[in-house]
Amino acid sequence: MNPFFTMIFLVFMIFMTAERLWETFFKKKGKRGEIVKKWTFPVLVVIHVIIGVGTIVEFFLTQRKINFSITLLGLTMFTLALIGRNWASNTLGEYHSVHIEIRDDHPLIREGPYRYVRHPYYLSVIFEFLGFPLVANAYYSFLISLFVYLPFLFMRVYFEEKAMVKKFGDEYIRYKSETRVFLPLPIKRSKEIA
């Protein structure tokens, strides 16, 4: 095992852990509102911990030869995720929450990354949790991200979409018809017969 890479990996994991703890538990929170499916947050935290610890354990136990192309891909994904998460949470401002949380005065945010996709924060988290196991070439942890974390995240997106429709009604339904969930691709519109 390359001692220089091991040191860099440990610094990366400390940075990642500190950044996530800060954003999740210590960053100033806005107004409080109604929380929907509150149980989803602790479950996500448990899965995050499993993937993080799994990545570290796998890195040290397997001691596989590091493929630096895979490491670079993972680091790129993680960096894009960090930028995307901060852009999305800064755009939401006081309405950002780690829960599915709707406030009474909650406006439908359609600026910043929300012009392009309905869930840029979750898209960034997908990049993060697929990317950081790749930094360590931790393929088993990557599979846990892919087959445990992502299905659960998609379930949470489903719950959030239902809460948004309940809060905003036709306005959110129209927004859904204009933007995709994750991919910032144009939506084909069928021509209406005049």
Among 30, 14, 55, which residue's Cα sits nearest to residue 149? 55
Residue 27 parent element (H or E): none
Higher-confidence position of 16 and 174: 174
Q: How many CB atoms lie within 10 A of CB 22?
A: 10
Q: What pLDDT does residue 128 have?
A: 93
Contact indicator for 175, 107 with CB cutoff of 8 Å: no
Q: How many CB atoms lie within 10 A of CB 55?
A: 27
Q: Is pLDDT at 26 greater than 80 in this prediction?
A: no
Contact indicator for 23, 85 with CB cutoff of 8 Å: yes
CA atoms within 13 A on the CB side of 183: 3
Q: Is pLDDT at 38 greater than 70 in this prediction?
A: yes
Distance (Å, rounded) from C-alpha 184 to C-alpha 114?
Answer: 10
Q: Is pLDDT at 190 greater than 80 in this prediction?
A: no
Which of helix, strand or coil describes residue 105? Answer: coil
Torsion angle, alpha carbons of 57, 82, 24, 90, to 10: 180
Q: What pLDDT does residue 15 have?
A: 85
Which domains can be identified in the chain, with CATH numbers? 3-12+30-178 (1.20.120.1630)
